[in-house]
Amino acid sequence: MHQIKIFSGLCNPDLAKKIAKHFGEELGNIQINRFLSQELHVKVAEDICGKDVYVIQSCCSSDDLLELLIMIDTCRNALAWRVTAVIPYLTYMRQHTQFQYGDPLTAKMLPRLLKAAGADHVMTMDLNCSSVVDQTHISMENISAEPAMVQWIKQNILEWKDKGIILSTDDVGGERGHQELCPCDPWYLLTLQRNTP
């Protein structure tokens, strides 16, 4: 069995620490800096040769995504046995459909970028379009927080059935929330339809 090593990007180190602590691990030593030109410089400051590496980085922006790609590549170059990208939030996942001719399918491109950087496996959470997972050429799994969220709502909000309102950025998310909480009861469902950026 290969020794596990967990690294965090700059986007959410507190979450990464909690994840590492949950598994009885400490975060690995990785240095992420910027040159005066704003180029990123990533250095793994310990030996990870032959280790099972997990890189935790939410990607809320293009900069976060580039940082993750460089971290993955750095771990691969340091001869990690396996590199798993753990991405609690992955940007661009709403761009999975072409509304007009010439629109990008960025959601389908990102898994290819992660694979090209050297990721062996990708773990995401609550992707807007989970069908992207089935269309990739990389080992990818999408974990849902919905069961835990529904359980918390039912245990902590006494009037959740009578006064519930589901807010969603699209019909898919709203319908998912409605099915999880109360498929038989009428709820207020508010969605925002966005066909353009």
Q: What is the pLDDT along the chain (197 residues), one digit of tens a residue?
A: 899 999 999 999 999 999 999 999 999 999 999 999 999 999 999 999 999 999 999 998 999 999 999 999 999 999 999 999 999 988 877 666 667 787 777 778 888 899 999 999 999 987 766 666 556 678 888 888 878 877 887 788 777 666 666 666 666 666 666 566 655 454 555 555 555 55
Could you tell me which CATH class the domain 4-143 is placed in? alpha beta
Distance separating alpha carbons of residues 167 and 150, to the nearest angstrom: 14
Cα separation of the two ends of the chain: 46
Bridge partners, residue 52, by sequence: 4, 82
Distance separating alpha carbons of residues 41 and 33, to the nearest angstrom: 5
- Torsion sign, CA atoms 182, 185, 189, 195: positive
Does pTM top 0.85 for this prediction?
Answer: no
CATH 3.40.50.2020 domain span(s) along the chain: 4-143
